Structure 1
Amino acid sequence: MGRTTPSVRMVVDYEIKRLEKMMEYIHDPEIRKVMNEIIASYKELAPVFKAVPPYDYPYAILLSGLIKALKRIDEIEQMVEHKS
């Protein structure tokens, strides 16, 4: 049986707070920037994960970041191809 929307939201908020807590110990601004982008990408895709809740929410957060990174890589490749 899947989770209800309120419990999904609670789990997501909990996982995001865990990431934010980790960021308190990261002093490298580039890593902090990437982690903020991962959190933002998860929030962007949150409706998808609420519709089809994952079994492992940290996985969903990382998957969101990976999707965003691959999208950026694709955009950069297209820009390079157009300049060639």
Structure 2
Amino acid sequence: MGRTQPSYTMAVNRELEKLERIIERLHSPTLSLLLERVKEKVRYTQSASYDELIDPYNLVYFTLIWALAEECEKWRSTYLTLIRSKEE
């Protein structure tokens, strides 16, 4: 028997809280900003994986990877724009 949606959400929140405590101890503004992005996205990931049996830990870290990928894409786009402007 699987989890109920509220209990799954609570488990996801516990994983986010663990990650938040670690980041607080590291005193990293960069990681704090990334965690905010993860918190914004985690419910989308949770909804998308509703029919799948995904551990809350894995869901949070998948969302972390998603947030990192988007940040990398932003930097890539910025870099390509700068390169193109220098070529002109």
Task: Report the TM-score, using the length of structure 1 for normalisation.
Answer: 0.67
Answering whether residue 20 of structure 2 is matched by residue 20 of structure 1, we say: yes
Which ranges in structure 2 are unaligned for 5 or more consecutive residues? none
User: Given that residues 34 and 68 in structure 2 are in contact (C-alpha distance below 8 angstroms), is that contact kept between their aligned partners in structure 1?
Assistant: no
Runs of 4+ in 1 over 4 A off after TM superposition: 74-79
User: Given that residues 8 and 50 in structure 1 are in contact (C-alpha distance below 8 angstroms), is that contact kept between their aligned partners in structure 2?
Assistant: no
Superposed counterparts of 1:1-84, under 5 Å: 1-54=1-54, 56-74=55-73, 77=76, 80=80, 84=84
Secondary structure in structure 2 of the residue aligned to 1:24: helix
Cα distance in 2, alignment partners of residues 62 and 51 from structure 1: 18
Cα distance in 2, alignment partners of residues 16 and 29 from structure 1: 16
Cα distance in 2, alignment partners of residues 57 and 71 from structure 1: 21
Which ranges in structure 1 are unaligned for 5 or more consecutive residues? none
Aligned length: 83
Cα distance in 2, alignment partners of residues 30 and 62 from structure 1: 17
User: Given that residues 46 and 59 in structure 2 are in contact (C-alpha distance below 8 angstroms), is that contact kept between their aligned partners in structure 1?
Assistant: no
Q: CA deviation at 1:74?
A: 4.2
Q: Percent identity?
A: 18
Task: Report the TM-score, using the length of structure 2 for normalisation.
Answer: 0.65
User: Given that residues 39 and 65 in structure 1 are in contact (C-alpha distance below 8 angstroms), is that contact kept between their aligned partners in structure 2?
Assistant: no
Secondary structure in structure 2 of the residue aligned to 1:22: helix
Q: Per-residue displacement from partner, 1:8-48 (whole Å, max 9, x unpaired)?
A: 11211211222222232121211221222223222332212
Q: CA deviation at 1:60?
A: 1.1
What's the RMSD between the two structures over aligned residues? 2.6
